[in-house]
Amino acid sequence: MAQSRKACRDCGEPIGFIQDAQKTRWIPVDPGTENRHVCQIDQVCESCEKTFKGASWMKVCSECYRSGGKAPGEAPAPARPSRTPEPLQDDMSFDDDKPPF
């Protein structure tokens, strides 16, 4: 059961808190339940422009967040070419890893 009752700092709705299974964090929940609190503010995803419910600081929907900020079904970014190898600057006849230093 949720312990303290406070107001959500994003939407103002009443919330309670419970500890996670490891007793390391407090999780906001809806009062009288153990259902995680989700702000009910309408937001528009910056990636796919879908409307979703969430806090004012959320910029992308859960699907785009899980896919790394890409809209679902969007092609992945092309792989960047690797750098071209640089030739050695010296003939390596002098090795500074050997004594004397």
pLDDT digits (tens, 9 = 90+) for 26-62: 989 988 888 889 888 899 998 888 899 888 888 888 8
What is the end-to-end Cα distance of the chain in Å, rounded? 67
Q: Give a yes or no: residue 23 inside a domain.
A: yes
Query: Could you give the number of structural domains in the chain?
Result: 1
Lowest mean pLDDT among 2-6, 30-34, 86-90: 2-6
Q: Give a yes or no: residue 14 inside a domain.
A: yes
User: 33 lies in which domain range?
Assistant: 6-62
Q: Give a yes or no: residue 75 inside a domain.
A: no
Report the amino acid identity of residue 61: C
Q: Is 66 helix (H, G, I), strand (E, B) or coil?
A: helix
Q: pTM value?
A: 0.51
What pLDDT sits at residue 44?
A: 92
Q: Give a yes or no: residue 1 inside a domain.
A: no
Q: Give a yes or no: residue 11 inside a domain.
A: yes
Q: Give a yes or no: residue 21 inside a domain.
A: yes
Q: Give a yes or no: residue 94 inside a domain.
A: no
Q: Is 13 helix (H, G, I), strand (E, B) or coil?
A: coil
Beta strands in 1-101 (DSSP E): 6-7, 14-19, 26-29, 41-44, 51-54
Q: Give a yes or no: residue 27 inside a domain.
A: yes
| Size of the chain in residues | 101
